[in-house]
Amino acid sequence: MTTVLPPEAPSAGSAPAPAARPSTFAPARLAGIGHYFPGEPVRNDHFEAMEALGIDDAWIREHTGISSRHWPEDDKERAVEMAVKAVDRALEQAGLEPDDIDLVIGTTSTTRPRVNPSSATNNYMDISLPLQHQAGLKRATCFDVGAVACAGFMYSSSVACALLPVMGIRNALVVCAENPRPILNFDYRYSALFGAGAAAAVWSADTAEPGLLDVVLHSDGEHFNAFDIDENDKMIMRGRQVGDLGPKLLVQAGRELLERNKLKVSDVDWFIPHQGNLNMINQVCAELELPEDRVLTNIQKRGNTSSVSIPSCLAENVEAGVIRPGDLIASVGIGRGFSWGAMLFRYQ
C-alpha cells in the first residue's frame, strides 16, 4: 500500500485515454488541489488514557490501520477556517485569484447547528457562504451539497463540472471540510477513527481535453439508520452494518467504472479509495485485484476524514510529486445512508 509522501516514488506512467466511452461532461480539468490538517498529530496513546474504551495503540492499528489523526486545537478553528487554508493552496496551484472563482460548492458530514457550527463566527452549519466571505471569493455563486457524507467530493465534483457549461462559467471550487471531534462519543471505540481537515479542488473549463471522464453514483436509503445522532448530539455509527456492506458496494462501483470505460486495472495509474478503514481498503483492493504500489492512502496518519479523505490524499500525493500531470486516477467512495460511487479523472 502506497502512503503519502513516499521518498522519490516514481509515477506509474500515463495510461492511454479511454476511447470506448466518450465523456458525458463538457471538458473540465482539475486545475488545482489543496489540503490542510490542523494542529499536531493526535496519536493513539490519547485513547489509551480513556480506560473505559479498553483500547491501546496496537488495537487501533490492528482494527483501523490508524496511528494518528488531527483535530483543531481551539474553537476558533472550525470547518470554514480550515477550508480557507486549503482553498489558498488550491488557488495557488491553479494560478488563480479569488475573483477568478465563479462557483463554490461546499460539502461536510460533521457540522451541526449550534453544537458544531461550521465557522467560529456563526452557529449555522453551512460551508460555502461563510467560506466565500472569509476567502474573498466575492464573485462566486455558493451552495452546499449535503446528505452524501464521505462521498461528498465525488458528488460535488460531478455537480461542479456539470454546471460549468450550463452556467457559462470558467472556474468551480469544490471544498470539503470536516471537524468531527465535537460530535464524537468518547464512550465508543469508533471515536478513534475520525480526524479533521479540509481539501479544495478547482475544476476549470479552459481546456479542450476532459479531466473528469466518468462518474458512477448510487444511493440506497434502506441503510439510512447505519448512522444517527443521539440525544446528546453525538454521532452514532453502527460499525458492523457499515463493515458488512461498505466493501461490497465499493467493489461494485469500481468494477462498474472500469467495465463501462473498457479499462483494465493496468490502464489506471493510481487508485484512491475512501480512507475509511485500512482493513476495508485492503479488502476492496484484494477484490478488485489492485496492485499495492498503485493504491494511495493517507489514513494511517490522518484518520478517517470523511469527505476530505479522497481529495486530501490526492493533494498530498500531488504535492509529493507522486501524482503527475496526465496521470489517470480512479477513486471509490461511500457515504452515510448509503451513497457511494466511483470517479475516473486525469490530473491536469
Residues that are catalytic? 150, 274, 304
The β-bridge partners of 271 are 295, 330
Rounded distance between C-alpha atoms, residue 247 and residue 239, angstroms: 13
Residue type, 15: A
Rounded distance between C-alpha atoms, residue 312 and residue 215, angstroms: 19
Distance of alpha carbon 272 from the chain centroid: 10
> Which residue do the cell numbers 470558467 mark?
170
H helices of the chain, in order, are 45-48, 57-64, 79-94, 128-135, 152-167, 239-260, 278-288, 299-302, 309-319
Task: Give the orientation angle of helix 57-64 with respect to helix 278-288, to 10 degrees.
Answer: 30
| Helices H / strands E in the chain, number of each | 9, 15
Kindly report the length of the chain.
348
Task: Give the orientation angle of helix 278-288 with respect to helix 239-260, to 10 degrees.
Answer: 30
Rounded distance between C-alpha atoms, residue 56 and residue 49, angstroms: 9
- Residues in contact with 278: Cβ distance below 8 Å, sequence separation at least 6, in sequence order: 1, 64, 65, 66, 297, 299, 300
DSSP at 44: T
Among residues 331, 343, 346, the alpha carbon closest in space to that of 276 is found at 331
* CA angle (220 as vertex; 263, 264 as ends), nearest 5: 10
